[in-house]
């Protein structure tokens, strides 16, 4: 109720699992300026998050997870300069991650998974110098993984699984000496695995399956017995990414079956695939585009490429005959 705004001396509000608590968060909550901890997770709350939350400048922990809040994360969240834990997962939140998140210099744990967030991961997140854990999986995030994350020397866990992220894996992440868990499974990442990942001293879990990565896999990873439960002893490079023509649920070999061969007439387009497919002509050309660094081509050279609604014969550099059979193909040669 709005009367909660009268509790101006309140320092902790914990209504966790009050499942009968419904309605929305009143804007009057912004009057609780002495509040240090706010936990109203696992309730039945809904509606947008009020921007007045940004007035709680003494807040150190906020947990709103497992409710039905809609709408965006208010940019005023960046005013919470004392915040150490931000947990707003499984809320059905939409919109983008505000750039103001970079103002949270003391935040150690950010859990924003299981929402409907879109847009890019802001480069400003690299200014969260105390961050140890970022869980942003199961969203609709696009764009690239910002290399600015490597500025966070304390970062230990980066979990970006099941988004729509593109581009390549930032080699800078391999320099993070405390990184133990990196999971980017089921995105649209391309390129190769940086060699720096094989020399990351504390990395124990590396999940890269379900992307559009290609070989070679660095030898330093295939022989790294610290990563993925030491399964490289048994499976070699397959413990990092299943080879072409084989699959696994997570895209890499695990006991007892390892990577399973595809059935007859089916295969995989990329290493680390989580399912087999009947390989079509368009798939072959899409794989070719990735291997040839097509994202670096001039716009006129990549017209139609990787656009599923454009017929193959209309792709730049492809010349077909009257029957739709490919006659010639020309493409830029990437600079070495």
Q: How many CA atoms lie within 13 A of 206 on its CB side?
A: 32
Quick one: 6 and 147 in the same domain? yes
Is 159 a member of any domain? yes
Last residue of a domain, one of 143, 166, 189: 166
Task: State which of 139, 166, 193 marks the end of a domain.
Answer: 166
Percent helix / strand / coil, the chain, rounded to 5: 25, 15, 60
Please list, residue by residue across 182-214, b when 16 or more beta carbons sit within 10 angstroms of its beta carbon and e when fewer do: bbbbbbebbbbbbebbbebeebeebbbbbbbbb
In this structure, what are the phi and psi dihedrals at residue 78, rounded to the nearest 5 degrees?
-70, -10
In a domain, 230, yes or no: no
Instruction: Answer whether residue 66 is part of any domain.
Output: yes
User: What is the rounded distance in angstroms from the CA atom of residue 237 to the CA atom of residue 216?
Assistant: 10
Q: Are residues 294 and 157 in the same domain?
A: no
Tens-digit pLDDT string for the chain (336 aa) = 688 888 888 899 998 877 778 888 889 999 999 999 999 999 989 989 999 999 999 999 999 999 988 899 999 999 999 999 999 999 989 999 999 999 999 999 999 999 999 999 999 999 999 999 999 999 999 999 999 999 999 999 999 999 999 999 999 999 999 999 999 999 999 999 999 999 998 999 999 999 999 999 999 999 999 999 999 999 999 999 999 999 999 999 998 889 999 998 899 989 999 999 887 777 778 778 887 888 888 888 888 887 778 888 999 999 999 888 889 988 887 665
Q: Is residue 294 part of a domain?
A: yes
The answer as to whether 231 is a domain residue is: no
Same domain? For 154 and 285 the reply is no
Residue 41 preceded by cis peptide, ω within 30? no
How, if at all, do strands 22-23 and 190-191 pair?
unpaired
Domain assignment present for residue 151? The answer is yes
For residues 6, 8, 14, 19, the Cα torsion angle rounded to the nearest 10 degrees is 20
Alpha-carbon distance values, 232 to 119, 199, 207 (Å) = 36, 15, 14
Q: Are 262 and 276 in contact (CB under 8 A)?
A: yes
Q: In the numeric block, which tokens belong to residue 104?
A: 């949270």
Q: Please give the C-alpha separations between residue 100 and each of 72, 97, 170, in angstroms, as whole numbers.
A: 13, 8, 23
- Please give the C-alpha separations between residue 200 and each of 81, 171, 221, in angstroms, as whole numbers: 31, 11, 10
Domain span at 133: 2-166
Asked whether 78 and 57 are in contact (CB, 8 A), the reply is: no
Q: Are residues 158 and 286 in the same domain?
A: no
pLDDT, residue 258, reads: 94
Residue 25 covered by a domain: yes
Q: What does the pLDDT read at residue 334?
A: 64
Last residue of a domain, one of 166, 192, 222: 166
Neighbours of 8 (CB within 10 A): 10
Quote the number of domains for the chain.
Answer: 2
| CATH code of the domain in which 128 resides | 3.80.10.10
Domain contains 287: yes
Cα(127)–Cα(148) distance, integer angstroms: 8
In the chain the beta strands, taken as DSSP E runs, fall at: 12-14, 22-23, 37-39, 44-48, 61-63, 68-70, 85-87, 109-111, 133-135, 157-159, 181-183, 190-191, 205-207, 212-213, 246-247, 260-261, 318-320, 326-329
Q: What is the pLDDT at residue 293?
A: 81
**175 and 198 Cβ atoms separated by less than 8 Å:** no
Cis omega (within 30 of 0) for bond into 49: no
Q: Whole-prediction pTM value?
A: 0.84
């Amino acid at each position: 109720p709005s009367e909660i705004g009268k509790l101006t001396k309140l320092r902790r509000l914990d209504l966790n699992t009050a499942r009968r608590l419904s309605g929305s968060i009143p804007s009057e909550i912004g009057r609780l300026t002495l509040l240090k901890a706010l936990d109203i997770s696992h309730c039945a709350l809904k509606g947008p998050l009020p921007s007045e939350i940004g007035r709680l400048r003494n807040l150190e922990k906020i947990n709103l997870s497992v409710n039905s809040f809609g709408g965006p994360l208010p940019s005023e969240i960046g005013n919470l300069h004392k915040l150490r834990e931000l947990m707003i997962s499984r809320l059905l939140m939409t919109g983008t991650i505000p750039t103001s998140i970079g103002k949270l210099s003391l935040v150690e744990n950010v859990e924003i998974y299981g929402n409907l967030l879109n847009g890019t991961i802001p480069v400003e997140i690299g200014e969260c110098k105390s961050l140890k854990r970022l869980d942003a999986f199961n969203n609709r995030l696009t764009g690239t993984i910002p290399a600015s994350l490597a500025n966070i020397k304390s970062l230990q866990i980066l979990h970006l699984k099941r988004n729509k992220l593109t581009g390549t894996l930032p080699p800078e992440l391999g320099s993070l000496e405390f990184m133990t868990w990196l999971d980017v499974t089921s995105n649209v990442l391309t390129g190769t695995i940086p060699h720096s990942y094989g020399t990351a001293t504390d990395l124990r879990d590396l999940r890269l399956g379900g992307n559009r990565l290609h070989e070679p896999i660095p030898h330093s990873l295939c022989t790294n017995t610290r990563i993925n439960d030491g399964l490289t002893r048994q499976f070699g490079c397959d413990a990092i990414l299943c080879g072409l023509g084989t699959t696994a649920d997570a895209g890499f070999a695990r006991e007892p079956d390892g990577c399973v061969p595809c059935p007859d007439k089916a295969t995989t387009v990329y290493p680390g695939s989580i399912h087999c497919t009947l390989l079509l002509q368009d798939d072959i050309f899409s794989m070719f585009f990735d291997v040839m660094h097509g994202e670096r081509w001039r716009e006129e050279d990549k017209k139609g490429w990787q656009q599923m609604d454009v017929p193959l014969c209309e792709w730049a550099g492809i010349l077909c005959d009257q029957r739709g059979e490919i006659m010639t193909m020309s493409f830029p040669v990437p600079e070495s």
